[in-house]
Structure 1
Amino acid sequence: MKSYSFIILIIFFCFMNSVHAQDTKALPFEDISTYPGSLTTGTVAARMVESLGFRYRYASQGLKDENMDFRTSEEARTIGETIQHIYGLTMVIHDAVLNEPYDQKEGLNPMQAREESLHLLKAVYDRLLSMNDAEVEAINVRGDHPFWILINGPLADALWHSGQIATLRRAAGNPMPKGVNVFLGKYNGKVEE
């Protein structure tokens, strides 16, 4: 009887490990050194999203719990609040491009929000790659604003805040990982999820 219990226990642990492995998706935008072979409205827009994903991934890689409450002044956002804000911006980008509402996940800590944001941006990137000019032109933000607002609004804002995270973490004593080459879209260092 003990051998059956042991076998059932092993099967249970294997199942749980399998479920956990399926829930953990590799983070996108590790390397963006390759690019589409054609220049279209969709591929240019996709590259902008991909560039945001790359910069944000490495600006926020390796942050520690103690970094999340760092702020430069009482009026400024903390690093953790900035990550949560970027999560909100990626939801706006996602909803506009995929034209489907995304339900915000409640109770995410900043690093979980970071991961979710990167996956949202990857879905946007994939969709934009396949869009023709008319489909890109049809994108509207919050039902009232044209595609152009997506660029100067949430997309540019998320890029801005990615830079703030890089600066804040340096001031907190935990600079960005060495080896990030934003010019080429490469990272020559240890990849952390």
Structure 2
Amino acid sequence: MKKNILFFLIIFLTLNMQAQNKELPYYQIPDYPEDYSSGNVAARMIDGLGFRYYWSTEGLSPKDLEYKTSEDGRTIMETLWHIYGMSEMIKNAPTATPNVRPTDFPDYSYEELRKKTLENFEAASNLMKGKQASDFEDFKVIFQRGEKQTPFPYWNMINGMLSDCIYHSGQITMMRRASGNPINPKVSVFNGRLRE
């Protein structure tokens, strides 16, 4: 009897966790748009990043979060904070919202940080969808320190923060494998889904 109760409790908790995870953006990549407009292509890049980030950060343990490959390297948790900061910039660029320096982020837990980062990617993607090439003239990466603002075109976002976040998501995948907790082997980044 106790074994049956324990078994059903484990099943319930597992299903509950899976249901909660599906509520976060990027459990799977959204359906692709009908056309290849500039905004849709940029949004799809962000969606691909969101999917990679979702699965590279899914189910990290406290041991994983403290793991780093070398004494002077970043821990996974420090890498998550770095990606979060860039996700704010990715979200801000389509509205030309300045990124104020120095940055003072709230003290989020791992779960909150992950959720906020995924929500930033989703918001950025939604801001890009349907935009045309001419709209990109108004998209700016703006750094602000005091009263001084330094603007950059969206091109810098593509080779800067977007590419950097993809790079760091891959680092997390590698570090968690080295820590003994590899990502779900059913993840298909090509299809943006879990394989059956």
- Does structure 1 residue 164 correspond to structure 2 residue 171? yes
* Corresponding residue for residue 176 of structure 1: 183
Question: For each residue in 1:128-174, what CA deviation from the matched residue of structure 2 results, as whole angstroms up to 9, or x when unmatched?
Answer: 00322221232111151111000000000000000000000000000
Matches of 1:33 and 1:151 in 2, distance apart?
Answer: 20
- The structure carrying a bigger strand percent of its residues is 2
1:26 maps to what in 2?
23
Q: TM-score, normalised to structure 2's length? A: 0.78
Q: How does 1:76-87 map to 2 (within 5 A)?
A: 76-87=73-84
Larger Rg: 1
- The residue that corresponds to 2:66 in the other structure is 69
Deviation at 1:175, TM superposition (A): 0.3
Contact 2:96 2:138 in 1 (8 A): no
* 1:2-151 matches, cutoff 5 A: 26-32=23-29, 34-100=31-97, 105-142=105-142, 143-151=150-158
* 2:37 and 2:130 in contact (8 A); partners too: no
Structure 1: give runs of 5+ residues left out of the alignment: 1-23
Aligned equivalents of 1:117 and 1:104: distance in 2? 16
Give the letter for the 1:160 counterpart. Answer: Y
The CA distance in 1 between the partners of 2:184 and 2:112, in whole Å, is 19
Cα distance between partner residues in 2 of 1:61 and 1:25: 11
SS at structure 2 position matched to 1:162: helix
CA distance in 1, matches of 2:35, 2:171: 32
Residues 116 and 101 of structure 1: CA distance in aligned 2, closer, same or farther (over 3 Å) = farther
> Residue 187 of structure 2 aligns to which amino acid in structure 1?
V
What is the aligned-residue identity percentage? 37
How many residues are paired up? Answer: 166
**Alignment RMSD:** 2.1
The ranges of structure 1 where at least 4 consecutive aligned residues each deviate by more than 4 angstroms after the TM superposition are 101-105
Distance 2:72 2:63 in 1: 19
Tell me the distance in 2 between the aligned counterparts of 1:155 and 1:62.
Answer: 23
CA distance in 2, matches of 1:104, 1:48: 28
CA distance in 1, matches of 2:66, 2:34: 43
What is the distance in 1 between the residues matched to 2:84 and 2:24? 15
Q: Write the deviation string for residues 30-89 of structure 1: whole angstroms up to 9, x where unpaired.
A: 222620110110000000000000000001101012211101111110000000100001
Which whole-Å CA distance do the structure 2 matches of 1:72 and 1:129 have between them?
Answer: 37
- What is the alpha-carbon distance in structure 2 between the residues aligned to residue 108 and residue 98 of structure 1? 25
